Amino acid sequence: MTEFFQFEADFVDSLRCIPMQVRLKLDTCGIKLKLQDWHKFITAEREELVEMPCTTTEETEAYRQFLIQLVVEHTGKEPSNLPIEAHPAWMDATAVPDTVQEKAKEVSVTMAPEHWASLTPVQRFALIKLSRPSHENQNFLPALKEFHLVLESLL
């Protein structure tokens, strides 16, 4: 059974938005998936993209090919490629990315290295994505709360 973050609760039942775990897989396999293309997939296809593993080299390539096939079937064109990071920041438990530190400061939270290290890679990935300047960031604080990095009573 796949688990979603609580901050995604408003859309995971319908999968109307791309959940973080799929976004992680997209970055892992090097495919940029537009939300408008995601919306063209039927529910079963979206669920398959959620459930399909993407950790080993073989799984990542299978995921990539399946996703390309879906996009081509639904849009008539191949999706754009994303550069695949050799050492992605979410896999580094020792260094809090500057964007995460800055976003945390905006909401009066100090992101200590031990807090960052206590997170899972997918939690770190979520905070990185939610702290990007191009993201609307409305779920950054809810994610910090969900990951027990801020106490409700302090806000």
pTM score, two decimals?
0.89
pLDDT given at position 154:
45
The pLDDT of residue 150 is 80
- Give 10-residue mean pLDDT values along the chain (155 residues): 79 84 96 96 96 96 98 97 94 95 91 94 95 79 92 47
- The strand pairing partners of 6, in sequence order, are none
> What is residue 135's predicted lDDT score, i.e. its pLDDT?
62
100 neighbors 128 (Cβ within 8 angstroms): yes
As a 3-state breakdown, the chain gives helix, strand, coil percent values, each rounded to 5, of 55, 5, 40
- Cβ atoms of 150 and 140 within 8 Å: the answer is no
What is the structure's pLDDT at 3? 75
Q: Where are the domains of the chain?
A: 6-81, 89-154
Residue 88 CA to residue 10 CA, distance in Å, equals 28
Q: Are 46 and 74 a contacting pair, CB within 8 Å?
A: no
Name the nearest CA neighbour of 130 among 30, 9, 24: 24
